[in-house]
């Protein structure tokens, strides 16, 4: 059974990679499932054992990458914003072509909105233990929108700074100002 699971994972990975490459080369609308399967060297019928269509494949690629990033951040626990930012930008750099597709907007706007809503919801729960004069929903939306904008800028400008430097920008531009709005957020010297 594990062998089949690994084979299934390899097939899905090949299909996701082929989709991303083709979107960057030709655009989402112009590619077919046949194009994807030929690029991935996977049988046409095999595609449909894994996905209902190319929309489901795109959603799978997007969700898998976001889940991987969440796991990375979750494993950090509470940490300095510079470290958190570096981890985010290292992940983005490692999956550059995938995020270029996602942030390009073609066929991904609904996926981005879904991720944004989920991220805002998670931050609202995280921020609920702190008090601020600004509602946590507004702060969470600001953080998520700002992070997405910073990532988009970085990718559109061919990543002119290393992830460590982007982590510092993330901390200075987004996280430190937001944390200062919370009256009972621990001071940076209190953090690990």
Q: What's the 3-state SS for 13-64?
A: HHHHHHHHHHHHHHCCCCCCHHHHHHHHCCCHHHHHHHCCCHHHHHHHHHHH
Query: Domain check: are 130 and 39 in the same one?
Result: no
* pLDDT tens for each residue of 35-82: 999 999 999 999 999 999 988 998 888 888 888 888 887 777 777 899
Q: Measure the CA–CA gap between 51 and 44, rounded to whole angstroms.
A: 11
In a domain, 67, yes or no: yes
Q: Which of 13-22, 38-47, 133-142, 181-190 has the lowest mean pLDDT?
A: 181-190
Query: How high does pLDDT run on average in the chain?
Result: 86
CATH of the domain at 27: 1.10.10.60
Which residues form the domain of 164?
59-186
Query: Domain check: are 126 and 158 in the same one?
Result: yes
Query: Domain check: are 29 and 124 in the same one?
Result: no
**Which tokens in the block code for residue 21?**
């490459």
Average pLDDT estimate for 128-149? 89
**Domains of the chain: total:** 2
**pLDDT for 121 beyond 90:** yes
Q: Measure the CA–CA gap between 16 and 61, rounded to whole angstroms.
A: 6
């Amino acid at each position: 059974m594990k062998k089949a699971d690994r084979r299934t994972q390899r097939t899905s990975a090949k299909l996701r990679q082929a989709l991303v490459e083709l979107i960057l080369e030709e655009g989402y609308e112009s590619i077919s499932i046949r194009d994807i399967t030929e690029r991935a060297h996977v049988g046409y019928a095999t595609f449909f054992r894994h996905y209902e269509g190319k929309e489901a494949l795109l959603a799978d690629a997007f969700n898998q990458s976001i889940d991987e990033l969440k796991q990375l951040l979750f494993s950090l626990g509470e940490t300095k914003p510079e470290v958190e930012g570096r981890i985010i930008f290292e992940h983005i750099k490692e999956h550059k072509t995938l995020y270029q597709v996602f942030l390009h907007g073609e066929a991904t706007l609904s996926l981005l909105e879904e991720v944004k809503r989920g991220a805002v919801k998670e931050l609202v729960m995280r921020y609920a233990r702190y008090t601020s004069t600004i509602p946590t929903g507004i702060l969470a939306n600001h953080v998520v929108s700002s992070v997405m904008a910073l990532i988009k800028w970085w990718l559109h400008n061919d990543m002119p700074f290393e992830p460590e430097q982007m982590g510092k920008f993330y901390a200075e531009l987004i996280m430190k100002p937001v944390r200062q709005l919370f009256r009972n957020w621990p001071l940076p010297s209190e953090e690990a």
